[in-house]
């Protein structure tokens, strides 16, 4: 779109600001559920500026308009914002509200800062208030200046929700609701407010089609001790689901009714909510005489622990995903020499192989198909402007995932398109040691994710190397590919209470990046399981559930110790046994070669 379009939109916003006596307007990149993926309806920043990145914050004043975003988007934002009237402000620390500092410094005493309170968390609102109060700056959190201007705004998808049968969910809606209520009683709560949509999908055993990468139906819920209020677009709820809801005490209310219901919560009641997932607008709707308890939501903690059925289905999803990936890598290696493949066509082809698999509904996130230097950017996603053709030599990193009925997958493999050099093999193997060392760990019950992160990094650290992101994130069950509360990272940030528990699914993805050259990452999903009980207590372990061979060409076997080499060969044997019987004969032979024991 021509940049003049964006300049006009900016002028329109400024005119409205003037009318409403707003001196500075904040425009966030979220929707009212504050989740990771946002439907097109809520991609306000793209409409306003043309910037297509997933994360950013806009601030507009009479004389300034800027977009705060993080380093992965610097180049793209520079280009997309050119001549739009918006300038790029580089975030020093990703995902932090550095625009608040700017506002504190630049907005004059007694002025008004405004934001649409539905789109910022209660936590950000508090930070805004704290920072603006000393300068007596007013905060207006009811400023939706976009709706009046955005004429052709995309609607929320109208596709219907669908039920998850017990053979996938493993626990009925009623049983889940009972368990949540028991926990509410324990915590002295009358109500649990649910704003994170995946929490609601899990609780009600339903899914929707409102988002691109996660099977979610935009909705809110309030669980009380006698009913569940479910706020969603009635047209998207099929008749039989409505009948089930009636029986199970789930009351369907209009999506927009959530604030008005919150406003009528009875005096003295105790309401649980999560301040990072609850919008400022909803928090402000709570009557002053209601006791608010801020805690990670009960469903968030419960759904992190997969039940037996979910684990069985997870294994099935892994099998199907592994078959698709094997076919993809076989195709890539065996394709005719003249057939050109780019990052984008490779990603599309992989999606094609996944589509052949039963129960696949789509990718679980935007595929990172990255050739050479692109692979050194951990969050690179190819688009038309960056798409690179895969050469006959070099490194190809593929980080992708699928949504299947019964499971969400997330896997990274890196392959060498030609014989790798010594440094590449060393780098690859050091990062792989991290993947293996974490996977092999036995640890006492009560261990937290930040305690074990170092095991994924130690081989790299020994060699003066490191990677700048976390080691592992939780993964949903046919839900979000990034799911809390557990993580494996270097910082004890977030929730210190969360321990690793049997049934938790988590990624294991140490990496090494050589700027401008290449990147290596081997990512498997690992499932926390029971190990043994000794005089010294209860011990847990991880089971690697991802099924796909690792490129042996890149392994420098001299850098693996005996246990690591045993793990790798054992893993390859497991991959072959699991996938082999689902592959056509030619592919079986190919996979056999790829999974043969590596010897010293």
Q: Interface residues with its own copies (CB under 8 A)? A: 441-444, 447-448, 450-455, 458, 460-462, 464-466, 490, 492, 496, 514-515, 532, 534-537, 539, 561
- What is the token pair recorded at 22? 């707003």
Q: Please, which residue, 157 or 449, has the CB nearer to its own copies?
A: 449
Residues contacting 105, CB < 8 A, separation 6+: none
Angle between the N-to-C axes of helices 197-204 and 173-186, in degrees from 0 to 180, rounded to the nearest 10: 120
Nearer to its own copies, 181 or 448 (CB): 448
Tokens, residue 86 = 């918006």
3-state DSSP assignment of residue 142: strand
- CB-based contacts of 373, cutoff 8 Å, min separation 6: 515, 516, 517, 518
- d(CA 232, CA 218) in angstroms, rounded, equals 7
Question: From the CB of 452, what's the least distance to its own copies, in Å?
Answer: 6
Rounded Cα distance between 490 and 364, Å, is: 25
Which residue, 256 or 462, has its beta carbon nearer to its own copies? 462
Q: Which two tokens stand for residue 391?
A: 């050469």
24-28 sheet: strands from edge to edge: 87-90, 65-69, 57-61, 24-28, 112-115, 138-140
Cβ closer to its own copies: 249 or 537? Answer: 537
Q: How far is the CB of 493 from its own copies (least distance, A)?
A: 8
Is 214 or 498 the residue whose CB approaches its own copies more closely?
498
What Å distances lie between residue 573 and 180, 186, 548, 550, CA to CA? 41, 47, 11, 12
If DSSP states are collapsed to H, E and C, what string results for 353-403? Answer: HHHCCCCEEEECCCCEEEEHHHHHCCCCCCCCCCCCECCCCCEEEEEECEE
Give the Cα separation of 42 and 507 in Å (integer). 29
Least separation in angstroms between residue 506's CB and its own copies is 16
Helices (H), 401-478: 422-439, 449-462
Give min distance, CB of 549 to its own copies, in A: 27
CB 224 within 8 A of CB 246: no
SS3 call for 543 = strand
Query: Least distance to its own copies from the beta carbon of 169, Å?
Result: 34
Residue 349, exposed/middle/buried by CB under 10 A (0-12, 13-18, 19+)? middle
Please, what is the minimum distance in Å from the beta carbon of residue 530 to its own copies?
13
Closest approach of its own copies to the CB of residue 447, in Å: 7
Residue 204 C-beta: closest distance to its own copies, Å: 35
**Nearer residue to its own copies within complex by CB, 124 or 460:** 460
Considering beta carbons, is residue 435 or 480 the nearer one to its own copies? Answer: 435
The least CB distance from residue 283 to its own copies, in Å, is 24
- For its own copies, give the closer residue by CB, 150 or 445: 445
Q: Please, what is the minimum distance in Å from the beta carbon of residue 412 to its own copies?
A: 20
CB 111 within 8 A of CB 137: yes
Residue matched to tokens 């805690």? 295
CB closer to its own copies out of 324 and 452: 452
Of the pair 379, 458, the CB lying nearest its own copies is at 458
Among 315, 396, 309, 323, smallest CA distance to 356 is for: 323
> What size, in residues, is the chain?
600
| Cα–Cα distance for residue pair 189/224, rounded to 1 Å | 9
CB of 474 to its own copies, least distance (A): 19
Determine the Cα–Cα distance for residues 569 and 548; give it in Å rounded to an integer.
13
In angstroms, give the least distance from the CB of 429 to its own copies. Answer: 16
């Amino acid at each position: 779109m021509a940049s003049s379009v964006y300049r006009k939109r900016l002028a329109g916003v400024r005119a409205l600001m003037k009318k409403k006596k707003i001196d500075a307007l904040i425009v966030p990149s979220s929707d009212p559920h504050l989740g990771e993926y946002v439907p097109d309806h809520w991609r306000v920043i793209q409409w306003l500026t043309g910037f297509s990145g997933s994360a950013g914050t806009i601030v507009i004043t009479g004389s300034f308009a800027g977009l705060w975003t993080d380093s992965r988007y610097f180049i793209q934002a520079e280009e997309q914002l050119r001549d739009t009237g918006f300038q790029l402000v580089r975030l020093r620390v990703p995902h932090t509200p550095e625009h608040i500092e700017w506002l504190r410094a630049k907005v004059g005493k007694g002025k008004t800062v405004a934001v649409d309170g539905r789109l910022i968390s209660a936590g950000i609102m508090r930070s805004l208030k704290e920072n603006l109060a000393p300068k007596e700056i007013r905060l207006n959190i009811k400023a939706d200046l976009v709706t009046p201007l955005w004429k052709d705004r995309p609607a929320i998808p109208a596709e219907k929700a669908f039920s998850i049968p017990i053979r996938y969910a493993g626990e009925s809606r009623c049983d889940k609701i009972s368990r949540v209520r028991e926990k509410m009683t324990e915590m002295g709560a009358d109500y649990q407010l649910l704003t994170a949509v995946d929490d609601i999908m899990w609780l009600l055993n339903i899914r929707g089609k409102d988002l691109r990468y996660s099977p979610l139906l935009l909705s809110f819920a309030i669980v009380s001790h006698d009913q569940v209020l479910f706020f969603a677009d009635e047209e998207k709820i099929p008749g039989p689901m409505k009948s089930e809801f009636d029986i199970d005490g789930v009351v369907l209310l209009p999506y927009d009714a959530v604030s008005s219901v919150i406003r009528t919560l009875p005096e003295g009641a105790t309401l649980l909510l999560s301040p990072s997932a609850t919008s400022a607008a909803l928090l402000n709707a709570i009557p002053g005489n209601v006791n608010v308890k801020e805690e990670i939501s009960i469903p968030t903690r419960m759904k992190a622990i997969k039940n037996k059925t979910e684990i069985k289905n997870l294994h099935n999803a892994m099998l199907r995903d592994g078959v698709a990936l094997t076919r993809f890598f076989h195709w890539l290696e065996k394709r005719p020499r003249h057939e050109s493949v780019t990052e984008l066509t490779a990603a599309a082809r992989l999606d094609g192989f996944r589509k052949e698999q039963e129960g696949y509904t789509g990718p679980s996130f935007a595929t990172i198909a990255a050739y050479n230097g692109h692979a050194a950017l951990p969050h690179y996603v190819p688009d038309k402007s960056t798409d690179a053709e895969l050469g006959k030599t070099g490194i190809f990193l593929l980080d992708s995932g699928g949504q299947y009925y019964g499971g969400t997958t997330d896997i990274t493999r890196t392959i060498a398109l030609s014989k790798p050099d010594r440094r590449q093999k060393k780098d690859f193997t050091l990062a792989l040691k991290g993947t293996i060392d974490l996977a092999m760990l036995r640890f006492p019950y009560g261990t937290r994710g930040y305690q074990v992160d170092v095991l994924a990094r130690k081989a790299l650290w020994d060699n003066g190397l490191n990677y700048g992101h976390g080691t592992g994130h939780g993964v949903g069950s046919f839900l979000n590919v990034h799911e809390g509360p557990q993580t494996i990272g270097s910082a004890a940030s977030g929730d210190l209470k969360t321990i690793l528990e049997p049934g938790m699914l988590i990624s294991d993805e140490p990496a090494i990046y050589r700027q401008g050259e290449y990147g290596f990452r081997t990512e498997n999903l690992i499932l926390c399981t029971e190990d043994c009980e000794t005089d010294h207590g209860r011990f847990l372990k991880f089971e690697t559930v991802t099924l796909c061979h690792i490129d042996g060409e890149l392994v420098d076997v001299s850098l693996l110790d005996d246990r690591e080499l045993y793990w790798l060969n054992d893993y390859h044997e497991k991959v072959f046994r699991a996938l082999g019987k689902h592959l056509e004969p030619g592919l079986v032979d190919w996979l056999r070669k790829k999974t043969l024991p590596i010897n010293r």
